[in-house]
C-alpha cells in the first residue's frame, strides 16, 4: 500500500511528462477498441444482411448447384422434392431458382442471373410483392439499385431478355422494370434480375423446378431429410467471416504501430526516471527499502500509466464511442468496392469482452515495458546510488 501511494505521488510529481504518456496511451486504447468494434460490427451487419435478404437460417441446394463452380450453373436446378411441400405451404421455406440469361439494355448485352422467387414469399426481406403486377404484356422484373445504375435503367424501362429454356432453345422477350429495390446486399443486386418464380418456371419450361430452398431465419424446428444438401448459415457466411478476419488482421498493423509508439514513450520515461532519481533510490535503500520493493515501485509507476490511460480513455472516449455507436459511420465511398456485403453506414459493436480484453492486454504490455528498464536496479548498490552512480 505504501508503494502504491508512493508510486502515485511520484507520477503526480512528474507533471506534464506523466500526462503526456497517459494521453498517448489512452489514444492507443481507444484506437484498438474502435477498430475492433468496427470490424465486429461490420461482420455482424454483413451476416445479418445476408441472413435477412438471401441466406435465411440456411439453404437446401439441389445436387448440381455450386456457386463457386460456373460450369455447374447452367444445370443448377432440379425438381423440388415433395418433402419440402409442407414447409413451403407453411411459409417456413421458399424456393429460389437461379437461371442464366442475358439482357440487352440500350442494345448492349449483359449476362445476368435470372432469380426466380415466389412473389408471396416472406422468408427473405426482399420486396418480391412488387413483382405481382400486370406489366402491359411485358415480363415484370425487379432489379437492385446498383444494377439499375450499371445498365442505366429505372422503373418503367423496357429491355429485351434472352435465355435458353430447359430444353436448350433460345427464347427472348421484352421485360419491364417494375421496381428498383434498395438493398445493402450486392450479391442479390449486381448482375441479378428478379422475376416471379412461376413465370421463370413457365418461360424456361421447368415446372416446379428450383435451385435452392431458403429456410426462414426464425424457424428453429426440425429440418427434413432430403436429396438436396443442407447448408447452415454459419457455412454460408464463412466467406464473410474470413474476409472480416483478413481485414481485421490488416487493421491490427495500424494499432500495433500506435501501441508501439505509446510503449516507447513509457519505456523512455522509465529509463529517464531511473537516471534522474538515482539519489532518491539510494536514499530509499538506505532507509531500508529492498531492491525488490524498489523494482516493484518503479514497475508499478509504469503500470499506473496504463491504469490512468484507461480511466482517461473512458472519460473522453466513452461519449465518442457511444455517439459513434448511435450514429454509425457512413462510408464516404461506394462500399461495393470492398467486395463483400456491407451497408453504407457501419455500426460498431463494443462488447464488454472486447473492452476488458483490450484493457488487460494493454496493462500487461505496459507493465512488461515498464519492468524491462527497471531490472538493472537488482544490482544497484545504495552507496553508488547515493553518489549518483549507476552500475
Partner 1 sequence: MEIRDNKAIKFLSPSTPLGMTFPHRKGLTMRVLMTGIATLAMLAMPSNSIAQDWPDGLAVMKRIDRNMVAENQVVESTMIVHGRRSSRTITSRGYMVSDEKSFSEYLSPPREKGTKMLKLDDKLWIYSPSTNRIIQIAGHMLRQSVMGSDLSYEDFTEAAELEEAYKCTVIAEDTLDGRPTYVVELIGKRDDLAYAKRKVWVDSDRWVALKEERYARSGKLLKTTEITEVFKVQGRWYPKHMIFKDVLKKGKGTEFIIDSIKFNQDIPEHLFTKAALRK
Is 63 a residue that touches partner 1 (CB under 8 A)?
no
Closest listed residue to residue 284, CA positions, set 14, 2, 18: 2
- Selected from 8, 19, 23, 104, the binder of partner 1 by CB under 8 A is 104
Which lies closer to partner 1 via its Cβ, residue 66 or residue 85?
66
- Selected from 5, 13, 16, 107, the binder of partner 1 by CB under 8 A is 107
**Which residue stretch of 102-110, 222-230, 292-300, 319-327 sits at the interface with partner 1 (rule: CB under 8 A)?**
102-110
| Least Å from the CB of residue 95 to partner 1 | 22
Q: CA-CA distance, 331 to 193, in Å (whole number)?
A: 27
- Selected from 168, 221, 288, 339, the binder of partner 1 by CB under 8 A is 168
Which 3 state secondary structure label does DSSP give 28? helix
The C-alpha cell of 77 is what?
A: 436446378
Which lies closer to partner 1 via its Cβ, residue 108 or residue 389?
108
Is 70 a residue that touches partner 1 (CB under 8 A)?
yes
**Scanning the structure block, which residue is given the C-alpha cell 525488490?**
292
| Least Å from the CB of residue 160 to partner 1 | 5
Is 252 a residue that touches partner 1 (CB under 8 A)?
no
Count of chain residues binding partner 1 (CB under 8 A): 25
Is 152 a residue that touches partner 1 (CB under 8 A)?
no
Is 169 a residue that touches partner 1 (CB under 8 A)?
yes
Q: Kindly compute the dihedral angle of the four CA atoms of residues 128, 133, 135, 138, in this order, to the nearest 10 degrees.
A: 50
Is 108 a residue that touches partner 1 (CB under 8 A)?
yes
Is 164 a residue that touches partner 1 (CB under 8 A)?
yes
| Least Å from the CB of residue 355 to partner 1 | 47
| HEC assignment per residue over 115-129 | EEECCCCCCCCCCHH
Could you please report the per-residue DSSP string of 350-367?
A: --HHHHHHHHHHHHHHHH
CB 35 within 8 A of CB 43: no
- Selected from 17, 35, 40, 100, the binder of partner 1 by CB under 8 A is 100
**Scanning the structure block, which residue is given the C-alpha cell 510503449?**
263
| Least Å from the CB of residue 108 to partner 1 | 7
Q: CA-CA distance, 259 to 362, in Å (whole number)?
A: 8
Which lies closer to partner 1 via its Cβ, residue 40 or residue 72?
72
Q: CA-CA distance, 62 to 66, in Å (whole number)?
A: 9
Is 230 a residue that touches partner 1 (CB under 8 A)?
no
**Which residue stretch of 96-104, 125-133, 368-376, 377-385 sits at the interface with partner 1 (rule: CB under 8 A)?**
96-104
Contacts of 40 (CB under 8 A, 6+ apart): 348, 349, 350, 351, 354
Is 232 a residue that touches partner 1 (CB under 8 A)?
no
Is 74 a residue that touches partner 1 (CB under 8 A)?
yes
Is 202 a residue that touches partner 1 (CB under 8 A)?
no
Contacts of 141 (CB under 8 A, 6+ apart): 131, 161, 175, 176, 177, 178, 193, 194, 195
The C-alpha cell of 367 is what?
A: 507493465
Which 3 state secondary structure label does DSSP give 175? strand
**Which residue stretch of 66-74, 227-235, 338-346, 371-379 sits at the interface with partner 1 (rule: CB under 8 A)?**
66-74
Q: CA-CA distance, 388 to 391, in Å (whole number)?
A: 10
Planar angle of CA 291, 294, 300, nearest 5 degrees? 140
Which lies closer to partner 1 via its Cβ, residue 175 or residue 297?
175
Is 171 a residue that touches partner 1 (CB under 8 A)?
yes
**Which residue stretch of 6-14, 169-177, 219-227, 297-305 sits at the interface with partner 1 (rule: CB under 8 A)?**
169-177
Q: Which residues bind partner 1 (CB under 8 A)?
A: 70-74, 100, 102, 104, 106-109, 111, 160, 162, 164-165, 167-173, 205
Amino acid at each position: 500500500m505504501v508503494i502504491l501511494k508512493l508510486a502515485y505521488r511520484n507520477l503526480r510529481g512528474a507533471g506534464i511528462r506523466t500526462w503526456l504518456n497517459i494521453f498517448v496511451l489512452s489514444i492507443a486504447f481507444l484506437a484498438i477498441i474502435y477498430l475492433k468494434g468496427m470490424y465486429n460490427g461490420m461482420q455482424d451487419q454483413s451476416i445479418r444482411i445476408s441472413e435477412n435478404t438471401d441466406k435465411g437460417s440456411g439453404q437446401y441446394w439441389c445436387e448440381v448447384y455450386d456457386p463457386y463452380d460456373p460450369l455447374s450453373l447452367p444445370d443448377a436446378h432440379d425438381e423440388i422434392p415433395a418433402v419440402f411441400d409442407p414447409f413451403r405451404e407453411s411459409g417456413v421455406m421458399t424456393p429460389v431458382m437461379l437461371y442464366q440469361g442475358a439482357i440487352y439494355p440500350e442494345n448492349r448485352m449483359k449476362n445476368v442471373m435470372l432469380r426466380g422467387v415466389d412473389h408471396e414469399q416472406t422468408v427473405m426481406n426482399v420486396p418480391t410483392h412488387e413483382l405481382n403486377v400486370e406489366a402491359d404484356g411485358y415480363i415484370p422484373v425487379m432489379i437492385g439499385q446498383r444494377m439499375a445504375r450499371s445498365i442505366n435503367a429505372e422503373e418503367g424501362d423496357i429491355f429485351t431478355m434472352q435465355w435458353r429454356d430447359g430444353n436448350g432453345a433460345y427464347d427472348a422477350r421484352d421485360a419491364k422494370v417494375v421496381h428498383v429495390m434498395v438493398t445493402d446486399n450486392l450479391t442479390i443486386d449486381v448482375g441479378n434480375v428478379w422475376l416471379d418464380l412461376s413465370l421463370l418456371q413457365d418461360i424456361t419450361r421447368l415446372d416446379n423446378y428450383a435451385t435452392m430452398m431458403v429456410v426462414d431465419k426464425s424457424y428453429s424446428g426440425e429440418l427434413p431429410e432430403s436429396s438436396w444438401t443442407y447448408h447452415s448459415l454459419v457455412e454460408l457466411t464463412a466467406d464473410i467471416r474470413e474476409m472480416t478476419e483478413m481485414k481485421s488482421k490488416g487493421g491490427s498493423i495500424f494499432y500495433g504501430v500506435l501501441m508501439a509508439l505509446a510503449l516507447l514513450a513509457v519505456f523512455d520515461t522509465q529509463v529517464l526516471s531511473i537516471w534522474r532519481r538515482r539519489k532518491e533510490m539510494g536514499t530509499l535503500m538506505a532507509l531500508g527499502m529492498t531492491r525488490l520493493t524498489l523494482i516493484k515501485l518503479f514497475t508499478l509507476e509504469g503500470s499506473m500509466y496504463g491504469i490512468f490511460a484507461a480511466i482517461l480513455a473512458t472519460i473522453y472516449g466513452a461519449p465518442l464511442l457511444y455517439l459513434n455507436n448511435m450514429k454509425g459511420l457512413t462510408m464516404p465511398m461506394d462500399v461495393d468496392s470492398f467486395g463483400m456485403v456491407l451497408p453504407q453506414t457501419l455500426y460498431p459493436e463494443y462488447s464488454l469482452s472486447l473492452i476488458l480484453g483490450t484493457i488487460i492486454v494493454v496493462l500487461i504490455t505496459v507493465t512488461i515495458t515498464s519492468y524491462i528498464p527497471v531490472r538493472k536496479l537488482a544490482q544497484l548498490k545504495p552507496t553508488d546510488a547515493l553518489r549518483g552512480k549507476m552500475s
